[in-house]
Amino acid sequence: MTSAADAVGGALREFGEELTAARAAQVGGAFTDDPRADDFLKASPEAFLIGVLFTQGVRAERAWAAPWALRERLGHLDMRRLADEPEAVAAAVASPPALHRFVGTLPRWISSAARRLLDSYGGDATRIWAAGSGVAEVTARLEAFDGIGRKKAAMTVEILRRHFGVDLIDEQCGRVAYDVHVRRVFLRSGLVDSDTPEAVQQAARRASPACPGLLDLPAWLVGRQWCRPQSPECEACRLGEVCARRVDLGVRGVGVRGAGGPQSSGRKSSPEGSLG
Ligand code: SF4
């Protein structure tokens, strides 16, 4: 890693440590700007798990508000009923305004997740991430749910550790999600020269050997707030003083809107410029 990349890694690590100390949710202390939805999400592990399913292809705030909205529409967020009444779930998700862009896929994931939660965890989502479990173990358990791939699992593990203070063990804590914002920031800042999952993970491990996942939220926030696909704001950016500012670069392919179906999207997607 070059000294310039070292500086970027250091700046992201420092930002990550600040966010951890603040027990940041996703955007500041909140997941969503509706306080009732935010409180519900934080109080109910099952709502949080359902929220994870929604974190794809829509703004994070909208995704995290969905479990509350779903409960309001259904009159419950009972796992047994979510599993046994898929038509009701589908209608609740799709009725205007729809809770998500993927009105066909999300309800299937929700009913499937509720079934899996009942069958494998007695309906208690905290058993997925029971204290003392390893990061790899929890990641694998999450990835076994329909609608949770590597990216969402990585994000979820980081939120569990950072915000909820879940005590997971492992030598290397977590990894960064291969998310469009994270990828764009890694590429433009010079942390990576190629936009591949392997390069991104490797760069995160080099920048933060003890805890690669520490870089996940800071990179995502930088990408969302300043390093947007078009018109990045380098002067205002948290990484502005150390970044290589390769603003002609962008990401495309997996996770970028228009590049594929719901399975190919991520924490949320954004249109991108060309890869340069
Ligand atoms: S906005 Fe500019 S300074 Fe910030 S990460 Fe992107 S390219 Fe670097």
> What is the structure's pLDDT at 256?
57
Distance CA 239, CA 69 (A): 36
The two three-digit tokens of residue 81, written as one number: 């009923």
Tell me: pLDDT of 253 over 70: no
- The pLDDT-based confidence of 172 (bands split at 50, 70, 90) is low
Tell me: pLDDT of 214 over 70: yes
Question: Measuring from atom 7 of ligand 1, which residue has the nearest CA?
Answer: 245
Q: What is the pLDDT of residues 99-147, one digit of tens each?
A: 999 999 999 999 999 999 999 999 999 999 998 899 889 999 999 999 9
More confidently predicted of 170 and 226? 226
Give the distance (Å) from ligand 1 centre to CA of residue 248.
11
The atom of ligand 1 lying closest to the CA of 185 is 5
- The pLDDT-based confidence of 47 (bands split at 50, 70, 90) is very high
Alpha carbon of residue 66 to chain centroid: 15
Give the distance (Å) from ligand 1 centre to CA of residue 206.
20
pLDDT, average across residues 65-74: 98
The atom of ligand 1 lying closest to the CA of 184 is 6
The atom of ligand 1 lying closest to the CA of 232 is 1
> What is the structure's pLDDT at 208?
92
Helices (H), 174-236: 180-189, 197-207, 216-225
pLDDT, average across residues 134-163: 93
**Contact 189 CB / ligand 1 (< 6 Å):** yes
**Contact 242 CB / ligand 1 (< 6 Å):** no
> What is the structure's pLDDT at 4?
86
Tell me: pLDDT of 241 over 50: yes
* Fold classification of 35-162 (topology level): Endonuclease III; domain 1 (1.10.340)
* Fold classification of 3-22+173-264 (topology level): Endonuclease Iii, domain 2 (1.10.1670)
> What is the structure's pLDDT at 255?
53
Of 85, 43, 102, 87, which is closest to residue 67 (Cα–Cα)?
43
Print burial letters for 178-206: b (CB count within 10 Å at least 16), e (below 16): bbbbbbbbbbbbbbbeebeeebbbebbbe
> What is the structure's pLDDT at 254?
54
pLDDT, average across residues 46-58: 96
- Decide if 215 contacts 12 (C-beta within 8 A): yes
Tokens 């991108």 — which residue?
Answer: 272
Give the distance (Å) from ligand 1 centre to CA of residue 252.
17
- The pLDDT-based confidence of 23 (bands split at 50, 70, 90) is confident
Domain range summary for the chain, segments of one domain joined by +: 3-22+173-264, 35-162
Q: What does pTM read for this prediction?
A: 0.79
Of 266, 253, 238, 65, which is closest to residue 182 (Cα–Cα)?
266
> What is the structure's pLDDT at 196?
93
pLDDT, average across residues 154-160: 92
- Decide if 79 contacts 114 (C-beta within 8 A): yes
Give the distance (Å) from ligand 1 centre to CA of residue 38.
30
- Decide if 173 contacts 215 (C-beta within 8 A): no
* DSSP-assigned beta bridge partners for residue 30: 27
**Contact 228 CB / ligand 1 (< 6 Å):** no
> What is the structure's pLDDT at 226?
96
Phi, psi (rounded to 5 degrees) for 185: -70, -40
Q: What is the pLDDT of residues 263-273, one digit of tens each?
A: 333 344 333 43
